[in-house]
Amino acid sequence: MKIRNYILLVMVALSIFSCTKDEDFFGSPYYYRDTVYVDKDTIGEAHNGSSNSHGLDFVNQDYGNGGVEVDPDEVDVLSKILGKEWVLTRAVAYVENRDLYTKKYYNYFSNTRNTASMSLFDPTEVPIFDEITLHETTWNFEDGNYFTIDGEHTYYMQTHYNALGQLIFRPYGFNGGTARPIVVQYATNEMMKVITRESFNGDNTYNYDYFSELTFKKVGTGYGHDGEIIEGYTFDGLWEYNYQETSDNTVFSMVGSEWVITRYDRGIQPYYPNDTLRFTSVNEYTINSNPVKRRYTYYNVTNTNMTSITLYGLTTLGGDYSGEVSTQGLYDGFINNIMFNDIWDDQNQTNVWMRRIN
């Protein structure tokens, strides 16, 4: 009896192994295709990932989106955007009044206005990004690691997907270490629409949520117009800025004034350039007889008697410089021994003397 039972046991064992000879006995009992990732070195090419962390994206080595898969279509969106020069063709501001429960949208540009700021209620601290010009402002997302504005100002950038699967670009390193997230709505080989500058602010009466929707076309391609509006918002015309009231800004205006830089010091070395700055509009100025228009911003520093002035393209000093001056000094027509900082290098400081000549 024992011999017969032993023979039966051997036969059963042989039967089991013969039925599984074509399978990996210790491997997975089924075949599966691994999650598709986006690798910063192979953007534009879908490939099977080898990580055990299924469901995480791999854009700029960012694993923080909480389990969003990146499919080949999204990889294709990246390939349409990266490495191309995009020029601004349309800009709309969406504003929700949190107290009156209204939602309205506004045009940034008109037939008589081609410059605007995406900072709606206060003068911006990041004009290089927030101040935009129709058909002139350009963005380039380079290889997904860098972001270039107007062909000359480049910043580090993170590229990833949020929990909703939306493609997010996050350039950072602006004034004060600020980042400016950009959410891609869609992109083709010729057009791109994004949302950016989502913020919360007030006008001393009501509180608002707001954001900007920008449309770009690839440089050298078609018209680049997309008139589609986000549902739930009603049109309310051209956005009108009122920084004086909303931010308690000084009413002093630089427009029409002319100032001479009589002296500046680099370290202990003084220089006497006598360059004349002519402020031709609320955001443009020229130097001497050169007709090239350069950008500037100025606004009152809240709860102080100081005014912040940023002069872009100030070739007298060799770059983009910003300083805080006495508001009373502007009325009196003198800026004496005020420190101006290179906005790209805080260690590069210059003391400046200016006087108004008209």
Over residues 102-114, mean pLDDT: 93
Q: Tell me, yes or no, whether 169 and 100 share the same domain.
A: yes
The set of residues, in sequence order, having a beta carbon less than 8 Å from that of 37 and lying 6+ positions away, is 47, 49, 51, 56, 57, 58, 70
In a domain? residue 281: yes
From the list 215, 219, 205, the residue with the least C-alpha distance to 182 is: 215
Q: Tell me, yes or no, whether 173 and 284 share the same domain.
A: no
Q: Tell me, yes or no, whether 181 and 230 share the same domain.
A: yes
Q: Tell me, yes or no, whether 347 and 205 share the same domain.
A: no
Of all residues in the chain, what percent carry a pLDDT higher than 70? 74
The set of residues, in sequence order, having a beta carbon less than 8 Å from that of 341 and lying 6+ positions away, is 321, 322, 323, 348, 349, 350
Which position has the higher pLDDT, 74 or 243? 243
| CATH code assigned at 99 | 2.40.128
> pLDDT class for 212, splitting at 50, 70, 90?
very high
Which position has the higher pLDDT, 9 or 68? 9
- Look at residue 41 in the predicted model and tell me its pLDDT: 30
pLDDT at 189 over 70: yes
Q: Tell me, yes or no, whether 281 and 240 share the same domain.
A: no
**If you ran DSSP here, which 8-state letter would residue 33 be given?**
P
Q: Tell me, yes or no, whether 313 and 349 share the same domain.
A: yes
Q: Tell me, yes or no, whether 205 and 264 share the same domain.
A: no
- Look at residue 244 in the predicted model and tell me its pLDDT: 45
- Domain of 228 in residue numbering reads as 80-246
- Look at residue 75 in the predicted model and tell me its pLDDT: 53
In a domain? residue 16: no
In a domain? residue 323: yes
In a domain? residue 188: yes
Q: Tell me, yes or no, whether 220 and 292 share the same domain.
A: no
In a domain? residue 17: no
The residue from 246, 266, 295 where one domain ends is 246
The residue from 186, 213, 246 where one domain ends is 246
Which amino acid is residue 282, in one-letter code? Answer: V
In a domain? residue 348: yes
What's the total number of domains in the chain? 2
User: What is the distance between the alpha carbons of residues 13 and 81, in angstroms, rounded to a whole number?
Assistant: 60
User: What is the distance between the alpha carbons of residues 161 and 57, in angstroms, rounded to a whole number?
Assistant: 7
The residue from 212, 246, 280 where one domain ends is 246
In a domain? residue 33: no
Q: Tell me, yes or no, whether 92 and 185 share the same domain.
A: yes
Q: What is the pLDDT of residues 335-354, one digit of tens each?
A: 999 999 888 877 889 999 99
In this prediction the pTM is 0.54
User: What is the distance between the alpha carbons of residues 208 and 95, in angstroms, rounded to a whole number?
Assistant: 7
Q: Tell me, yes or no, whether 266 and 192 share the same domain.
A: no
Q: Tell me, yes or no, whether 227 and 265 share the same domain.
A: no
Over residues 192-198, mean pLDDT: 94
